[in-house]
Amino acid sequence: METTIRKYELSASMSAGDVLLQHLRGVVGASNVFSGSEIEERYRSDMMRKYSSTPLCVVRPSSTEEVAKIVQVARNAKIPLTTLGGCTGVVGGGMCLQGEIALSLERMNKIIEFDVESMTMTVEAGVVLQRAQEEAESHDLLLPLDLGARGSATIGGTIATNAGGVRVLRWGTMRDMVLGLEAVLADGSIVSSLTKSLKDNAGYHWRDLFVGSEGTLGIVTRAVLRLRPLPKSAQTALLALNDFGCVPQLLRFLDASFAGQLSTFELMWADFYEFVSAAQLQQRQRPLPLGSAVYVLIETLGADVGRDMELFERGLAEALERGLASDVVIAQTERERANLWAVRDDLTEAYKPLFPLAAFDVSVSLKDMPHLVDRARSAVQQLYPCATMLFYGHAGDGNLHAVVKLDPNDAAAEAKVEGAVYECVRDLGGSISAEHGIGLAKRKYLSYTRSPAEVALMRSIKGALDPDNLMNPGKVLPDSQTH
């Protein structure tokens, strides 16, 4: 009886925030709830250092059941939640806007089951991509998703953003690798369909709705991932082309010649190649001379080391004979392969002089890609005649990336450059987001790619699954009064 009275007195003197923290500590333990100055910098800003915000608190659950209880606590207190994976997202999706609870899944990092026979692995959402890749490799299998942020990005985050990367051409995006899913909904209930089957047409597939929903519909807690046989051979080359016009034909020709083994086709415009390879000259030689219009990094992955290289060399020789490429260098060792990849992948140091920058991730048909580059270049040059602009991308899947160095003395530069580039994308019928998602950064441009009917449908789905707008509010959908 005495204990009960003391508890009541304590609660009465506590603020609503303190009561909330007490409830959260009751779910995950005091050492897994951080507030105020305990909140580390990594929870406060995104990888690009573009956004920063301070969550009300950071909570680190260790199981699906704990996630469900946290959602119930948040729901009772009417406090929204933002889910955090590896915080490598580049569109501000993981930013807490309104003093929200940041739900970090970093402790949910168990590989639950590895099933070699069905070629699947079942993992918790906080498992880091590279660890899942390495686990698959240790069983002679491949998790095909691969991207530069592999060392920090999580399975949950890559599902929530439907991540793409450098092998989409052959194995698709994350959506194509997710067989089963478990999630916690906004009302605190758990939905689970951890199937290992490729085929499952029993009604609406809520799984597909969650892939790419950026934490706005619920929290992904576990997934069953589809794996492939581990390739035994990798053949890598860099090609130079005098004219973009040859690119679609080169892609078709190589895809047919390599009998389904072409896994990567990464395009770099001359300005990108010159800038990045110049920045890396102290570490490595430029693999091909400057002076070509575009450069293409290609890779085939196969099962027969000798035969695959023969096929690769034959295909490339024929591409040269046909005039589809003007020069080529083939990696002969792992070190040379890493050097070729570095020009496309090792951008962190090279990009440093470009800050502040605007980064773009858009898609159009391959046929329209050179038009998009020309239009975007001239639209930006009209605003800023001397702006540095670099174009590159996962061109095999119509995905163009661009970076534009912004004028640091013009506070409106980013908005002006973004508006100009996204108008070009809209006019060519493209998508303002190929693989990074919408998050915070692109929501005001959603109508450039999605019709009013599509946006209305998205709002209905959000309203049905999250009527109190507690799941990552303010992301993906534009404010209803403006669009």
- Interface residue list for ligand FAD (CB under 6 A): 47, 82-90, 93-94, 105, 125, 147-149, 153-154, 156-158, 160-161, 163-165, 214-215, 219-220, 435-436, 439, 472, 475
- As measured in angstroms, the least distance from the Cβ of 354 to ligand FAD is 14
Where are the alpha helices (H) located in 234-333, listed in sequence order? Answer: 247-257, 270-279, 305-321
For the chain, how big is the Rg over CA atoms in Å? Answer: 24
Strand order in the sheet with 190-193: 111-115, 120-124, 218-226, 178-185, 190-193
What single letter denotes the amino acid at residue 289?
P
* Position with the least CB separation from ligand FAD: 157
Q: How many residues does the chain have?
A: 483
Q: Whose Cβ is closer to ligand FAD: residue 66's or residue 214's?
A: 214
Can you spell out the DSSP letters for 61-128?
Answer: -SSHHHHHHHHHHHHHHT--EEEESSS--SSSTT---SSPEEEE-TT---EEEEETTTTEEEEETT-B
- As measured in angstroms, the least distance from the Cβ of 165 to ligand FAD is 4
CA distance 357 to 389: 10
Q: Whose Cβ is closer to ligand FAD: residue 211's or residue 376's?
A: 211
- As measured in angstroms, the least distance from the Cβ of 319 to ligand FAD is 26
Q: Whose Cβ is closer to ligand FAD: residue 214's or residue 308's?
A: 214
- As measured in angstroms, the least distance from the Cβ of 158 to ligand FAD is 4
DSSP strand pairing (101-104 vs 57-59): parallel
- As measured in angstroms, the least distance from the Cβ of 140 to ligand FAD is 25
Give the angle 310-312-314 at the CA atoms, nearest 5°: 70
Q: Which residue bears the tokens 């990009």?
A: 351
- As measured in angstroms, the least distance from the Cβ of 130 to ligand FAD is 12
Q: Whose Cβ is closer to ligand FAD: residue 263's or residue 472's?
A: 472
Kindly provide the residue ranges of all beta strands, DSSP E only, lying in 116-197, ordered along the sequence. 120-124, 141-142, 178-185, 190-193
Q: Whose Cβ is closer to ligand FAD: residue 66's or residue 435's?
A: 435
Q: Whose Cβ is closer to ligand FAD: residue 177's or residue 319's?
A: 177
Point out which residues pair with 299 in neighbouring strands. Answer: 236, 264
- As measured in angstroms, the least distance from the Cβ of 340 to ligand FAD is 17
- As measured in angstroms, the least distance from the Cβ of 1 to ligand FAD is 44
Structure tokens at 107: 């402790």
Q: Whose Cβ is closer to ligand FAD: residue 89's or residue 287's?
A: 89
Backbone angles phi, psi at 180, to 5 degrees: -125, 160
Q: Whose Cβ is closer to ligand FAD: residue 160's or residue 354's?
A: 160
